[in-house]
Amino acid sequence: MAKVPDTPENSQKCICGDCPSYNQCMKDKGELLYCAGKKSECDFERKGCLCGMCPLTPEFGLEKTYYCATGAEM
């Protein structure tokens, strides 16, 4: 079970779409909230990570980064 619930409220707090690594493929597939779900199905280049600045990070005590590459924090 994911540590972060995949809820509309958490989706509204999500900043994945502002991440420098977030690309058109991710946008086209509607991928967001990686810390609550699975890693991206898209190929992407690591251009920087905003996970540490996400409001969900302190709220849920998240410790990882690049959830788009690793998937949900369990």
48, part of any domain: yes
**Domain presence at residue 2:** no
Sign of CA dihedral 47, 48, 54, 56: positive
Q: Determine, yes or no, domain membership for 23.
A: yes
How many residues appear in the chain?
74
Six-digit token pair at 38?
């699975």
Taking the C-alpha atoms of residue 12 and residue 42, their distance in angstroms, rounded to an integer, is: 22
Residue 23: Cβ-neighbour burial (10 angstroms; 0-12, 13-18, 19+)? middle
Q: What is the pLDDT of residues 14-64, one digit of tens each?
A: 999 999 999 999 999 999 999 999 999 999 999 999 999 999 999 999 999
Does 3 reside within a domain?
no
Instruction: Report if residue 57 sits inside a domain.
Output: yes
pTM of the model as a whole: 0.90
Domain range spanning residue 23?
A: 8-70
How is residue 62 written in tokens? 């998240």
